[in-house]
Structure 1
Amino acid sequence: MNDEKMDIGSTALVLIDLQNFNTTRELAPHPADRVVGNCVLLADEMRNRGGMVVFVRVLMGELLALPADNPMKKPGTPEPPPEAIQFSPDAQVQATDIVVTKRQWGAFYGTNLEQLLRRRGIDTIILGGIATNFGVESTARAAFDQGFALVFAEDAMSSMQAEAHEFACQNTFKVMGKVRSTRALIDAFQAGTGDA
């Protein structure tokens, strides 16, 4: 991918954990409604041009929990209700989209995501979702190790702390790939397909 255009045929949009338990959180620096709205814009553009759209969800009740100083799930925490792990209706997941289910932060380990991408000839992944420094970053690190080019939709992801999001976007992600706005990516889609 260059900054002017993008080949939709070899690019996949992978959106992480746009589930109710995440989209109802207080997020920073971008609020959840803006993140989801930008993810929808990107997904619509990809679908309209025949691109691959992947929604990743985590099964919270099966999420790996190892000893930690500050675990995400405190001992004795009840399991989330079934509606909490459903995709947010605002994410507008379509029947033609691919859904990948994971049981850890990253979307590659223990899933068929790599196989789905390779069979479609995908070499570039655009990432968005919640949370920047957990599911998105874990997925990005695995994708980078497997040789996928990475593009990060900065305003289509967010975290629980603005500092965590900004550190990942300004430091880690710029070493691994390209960090762009939703608008810049849509412009690149249009340039890549010959549209105005």
Structure 2
Amino acid sequence: MALTALDERTALVIIDMQNGVVGAATTPHTGGEVLARAVALAEAFRAHDAPVVLVRVSLAADGADAVPGRTEASRPAATPPPGWDAIVDELAGHPGDITVTKRNWGAFHGTDLDLHLRRRGITQIVLAGVATSIGVESTARAAHEHGYHVTLAVDAMADRDADAHRNSVERIFPRLGETGSTAEVIALLEKTLG
């Protein structure tokens, strides 16, 4: 579904734009392209005093808070380098932003994201970040289940796998909300809040 509207109480939620993740998701957009678009979205939301939520994934050094369960995908054996879970400098450092730390794929389960949004009367979220088929899709599904209107800035996200990205954008996201480009989201934000 094409973009039709943004609610007056809309927040931007950016997933996993952090030092150890941005470079890993490179299709169909590079990490740099995704970052530039995420920064443009954040600047537009901040200019209208609309909430910007920066979500990062982090785990204890000993792995004690890793999600349990058996999977066929291997888990990283090495301890991540220091600072891997810090929000990238281009997005960090804005005192009005909300930072949420997650331990799962999605940004809702086990975090205070919903509480932050509800306290501000938010009815809609715009999503961007990496990886499209994991963190972004998981968060979009949960946002839909929590009753938020969901908008996905599909050129401000990327994945390690082109087919996974395409599946999310073409098959999953239209069932959860509306999709559009960064420029379309910003234009609609200007129209709604400008």
TM-score normalised per structure 1: 0.90
How large is the Cα RMSD of the aligned pairs?
A: 1.6
Q: Which runs of 5+ in 1 are unaligned?
A: none
State whether residues 25 and 158 of structure 2, in contact with CA within 8 Å, keep that contact through their aligned partners in structure 1. no
Aligned to 2:168: 168
Q: Which amino acid aligns with 1:142?
A: A
Contact 2:33 2:156 in 1 (8 A): yes
Cα deviation 1:129-172 (Å, max 9, x = unaligned): 11011111111111111111100000111100111111101110
Q: Counterpart of 1:184 in 2: which secondary structure?
A: helix
Q: Cα deviation per residue 1:69-91 (whole Å; 9 max; x = unaligned)?
A: 123x24xx121012111111133
CA gap of 1:132–1:93, structure 2 versus 1, over 3 A, is farther
Task: Could you tell me which runs of 5 or more consecutive residues in structure 2 were left unpaired when the two chains were aligned.
Answer: none
- Per the alignment, do residues 92 and 154 of structure 1 end up closer, same or farther by CA in structure 2, a change over 3 Å counting? same
Match of 1:68 in 2: 71
Alignment CA distance shift 1:122-1:26 (3 Å): closer
- Partners of 1:91 and 1:155 in 2: how far apart? 17
**Does the CA contact (< 8 Å) of 2:3 and 2:179 recur in 1?**
no
1:106-121 to structure 2, matched below 5 A, reads: 106-121=106-121
Q: 1:65: Cα distance to partner?
A: 4.3
Deviations 1:96-132, CA, capped at 9 Å, x for gaps = 1000011111111111111111111101010011101
Please say if residues 37 and 91 of structure 1, whose CA atoms lie closer than 8 Å, have aligned partners that are also in contact: no
SS of 1:167's partner is: helix
SS in 2 for 1:90: coil
Query: In 1, distance between residues paired with 2:50 and 2:80?
Result: 33
Check whether the contact 1:5–1:190 (CA below 8 A) recurs between aligned residues: no
- The one-letter amino acid paired with 2:73 is N
